[in-house]
Amino acid sequence: MNLTYTILIPLIPLAVFLLLGIFNQKIKPSVSGYVGVFGLSISTILSLYTAYQYFFVSGKVNGVYQTFVEKTVWMNFTETLRIDMGVLLDPIAVMMLIVVSVVSLMVHIYSRGYMKEDEGYTKFFAFLSLFSFSMYGLVLATNLFQIYIFWELVGVSSYLLIGYYYTKDSAVAAAKKAFIVTRFADLGFLIGILIIGYYTGTYDFETLNNPEGNAILHWASNSFMGLSVITWALILIFVGGAGKSAMFPLHIWLPDAMEGPTPVSALIHAATMVVAGVYLVARMFPMYYFVEDSFTLHIVAYVGAFSSLFAAVIAITQTDIKRVLAYSTMSQLGYMMFALGVSGYEGHEGVGYMASMFHLFTHAMFKALLFLGAGSVIHAVHSNYLEDMGGLRKYMPITHITFLIATLAIAGVPPFAGFWSKDEILVAAFEQNTLIYVIGVFVAGLTAFYMFRIYFGIFWGKETAYEHTPHESPQSMTFPLIVLALLSIVGGFIPFSEFVTANKVGFEAHLNYPLAAIAIGVALIGIILAWVFYKKENDLADRFAKGFGVLYKWTANKFYVDELYLFITKKILFKRVATPIAKFEKKYVDGTMRGIGSKTVLTSEKIKGMQSGRVQDYAFAFIMGVVIIALIFIYIWTN
């Protein structure tokens, strides 16, 4: 397969970024929007063409999807260890190309309407392009170091875009928080990479992932504190992934990241960047699976399941619709994680892996749609809060219908996309781990409940007294909504198991009817409960909240995880480490040096009296000197 043109997919957004970034002041805003959309359209066309070529023309040899790699040396560490830059095509990389391209293109188009009056319009498109470039680079990475490089770059694009409204203090704080929390997680990632590089002598995915390779067979037996060194590395790498994918307890940055413009939340914090952690585990799946009997995968599964439950519970009580969606994203990411965690490797055993990637794909579509729909609503009512909304279905028909489609999709109602992928995940969990299966089903019910809660709250219920009558958003914004809605309807019918599997051999997945029935039933219960509580104005919800008392309070306050972090950083790291160090520096380290200085001055003060300028003193000293020297000589001479 000829790969030369795929390198253009990331390079075009990079060129757009440089163009818009350097000539920021000189380009007219209207032009910059077109440049951004145009650049990404080309990347999208190339991505779709690549996908067609890969999946249907030349990707498969003897029923197995091949991995194509093209790379060049970027930097040498030693004779064997180096960082390469290049592109790697395999089923998940190609699938991610489509996800990133489609969502990014839709967000670009949408932003032309949404950001229209913003003074930083050109800058916004520059940052979007920078992000798209970094995300493509991450997806196409051929080795651990390359993925780390682009991992950091998507992190910084996210930082810049969260802090886009940089005159707002809350946005600045949120941007900083996102960067530092993920940076902390990346520390684990980096140490994991260093361990792998040291023991296996390579960063290349192809070599590392080979089930018969050294990394898996040989080094996995080299143990440290009861676990193999490679397991340690995989755990640390997962920490990095958990940071990006907002897994508990590293999730605290994601809800705050909603300070960014809504299209950014749709692109970065719902569809693409946050799935990087899931993608990373999938990318290294053979290692996760084969090293020490999938020890690390169990951790992945439990962390994912817990995060998914934790976030779903919090989502119920939030009133900022973007925050509800943020927690929902975290919950769905947990779904993808535990699907990987319960997955096997070959054939139907590997259904979890396939389902995770499938869910990643469908989730990207409907979650981006939800965010863009929420953006359309926020654009109309100028508020993020549920209490400022209600009855909007009359004013915004397109937003309403598309939002409903996305809500049905995420709730897992057939035939919408989310149902199919979620069902496969539950099948995988059911076959491997009953506890996780139960959590998964329960979370599915919660998801249906909280999503319909905000759906009813926004589009039904009592109308708020609006200052300006809300109206439907312009075409540039509704067009992406419609496209994504269509994808959320048909996305579920893609026979994913034929294309994306752990061992790259397709298999046929069947609908498991009893399990599907349970899932649908739970979802319907959730929807009906939401209908009872929120369809019409009533105080049922408030009474329930009172009934739950402490539990409600803890949930509404997000279980005080943020406060715990604040305590650790402000009270311990700042007060107990940084401040004492600054004091220690002044008082002791610098103090000692100054002490030496002042002692010298003091000594010279004491002896300077000798230079009195009186001749008789000097004469006296002279004679004394002669006498002493004479005495010494006599002493030496006599002995």
Q: Which is nearer to other proteins, 434 or 579 (CB)?
A: 579
Q: Which of 293, 563, 590, 605 binds other proteins (CB under 8 A)?
A: 590
Q: Which of 581, 621, 631, 632 binds other proteins (CB under 8 A)?
A: 581
Kindly state whether residue 566 participates in binding other proteins, applying the rule CB under 8 A.
no
Kindly state whether residue 15 participates in binding other proteins, applying the rule CB under 8 A.
no
- Minimum CB–partner distance for residue 217 and other proteins (Å): 21
Kindly state whether residue 577 participates in binding other proteins, applying the rule CB under 8 A.
yes
| Residues paired with 76 in a beta bridge | 82
Which are the contacts of 463, defined by CB distance < 8 A and separation ≥ 6?
Answer: 390, 391
Contact stretch for other proteins (CB under 8 A) within 144-152, 342-350, 471-479, 544-552: 144-152
Burial state string for 260-296 with b = 16 or more CB within 10 A and e = fewer than 16: bbbbbbbbbbbbbbbbbbbbbbbbbbbbbbbbbebeb
The amino acid present at 191, given as its one-letter code, is I
Q: Which is nearer to other proteins, 58 or 600 (CB)?
A: 600
What does the per-residue mask of binding to other proteins show for 64-83, with x meaning CB under 8 A? ---------xxxxxx--x-x
Contact stretch for other proteins (CB under 8 A) within 104-112, 304-312, 528-536, 578-586: 578-586
Q: How long, in residues, is the chain?
A: 639
Q: Which of 127, 145, 335, 499 binds other proteins (CB under 8 A)?
A: 145
Kindly state whether residue 529 participates in binding other proteins, applying the rule CB under 8 A.
no
- Minimum CB–partner distance for residue 32 and other proteins (Å): 16
Q: Which of 42, 173, 518, 556 binds other proteins (CB under 8 A)?
A: 173
Give the Å distances, CA to CA, from 545 to 71, 384, 430, 616: 57, 21, 32, 99
As a whole number of angstroms, the distance between CA 119 and CA 3 comes to 40
Query: How many chain residues touch other proteins (CB under 8 A)?
Result: 47
Q: Which of 566, 589, 629, 631 binds other proteins (CB under 8 A)?
A: 589
Q: Which of 11, 149, 401, 505 binds other proteins (CB under 8 A)?
A: 149
As a whole number of angstroms, the distance between CA 255 and CA 317 comes to 13
Contact stretch for other proteins (CB under 8 A) within 189-197, 213-221, 401-409, 443-451: 189-197
* DSSP one-letter code for 474: P
Kindly state whether residue 602 participates in binding other proteins, applying the rule CB under 8 A.
no
Q: Which is nearer to other proteins, 17 or 452 (CB)?
A: 17
Q: Which is nearer to other proteins, 188 or 506 (CB)?
A: 188
Instruction: Tell the burial category of 522 from Cβ atoms under 10 Å away from its Cβ (0-12, 13-18, 19+).
Output: buried
As a whole number of angstroms, the distance between CA 529 and CA 446 comes to 10
Query: Which two tokens mark 81?
Result: 């260890």
* C-alpha triplet 590, 591, 597: angle, nearest 5°: 95
* DSSP one-letter code for 557: T
Q: Which of 131, 148, 327, 353 binds other proteins (CB under 8 A)?
A: 148
Kindly state whether residue 179 participates in binding other proteins, applying the rule CB under 8 A.
yes
Kindly state whether residue 579 participates in binding other proteins, applying the rule CB under 8 A.
yes
Contact stretch for other proteins (CB under 8 A) within 327-335, 395-403, 512-520, 593-601: 593-601
Of 182, 187, 162, residue with least CA distance to 174: 162
Q: Which of 5, 49, 166, 622 binds other proteins (CB under 8 A)?
A: 166
Beta carbons within 10 angstroms of residue 71's beta carbon: 17
Number of helices followed by number of strands (H, E) in the chain: 28, 6
What sign for the dihedral angle of Cα 449, 453, 459, 462?
positive
- Minimum CB–partner distance for residue 149 and other proteins (Å): 4
What sign for the dihedral angle of Cα 41, 45, 50, 55?
positive
Which are the contacts of 105, defined by CB distance < 8 A and separation ≥ 6?
Answer: 37, 40, 41, 44
Q: Which is nearer to other proteins, 201 or 414 (CB)?
A: 201
Q: Which is nearer to other proteins, 219 or 361 (CB)?
A: 219
Q: Which residues bind other proteins (CB under 8 A)?
A: 73-78, 81, 83, 145, 148-150, 152-153, 156, 163, 166-167, 169, 172-173, 175-176, 179-180, 183-184, 187, 190-191, 194-195, 197-198, 574, 577-579, 581-582, 585, 589-590, 592-594, 597
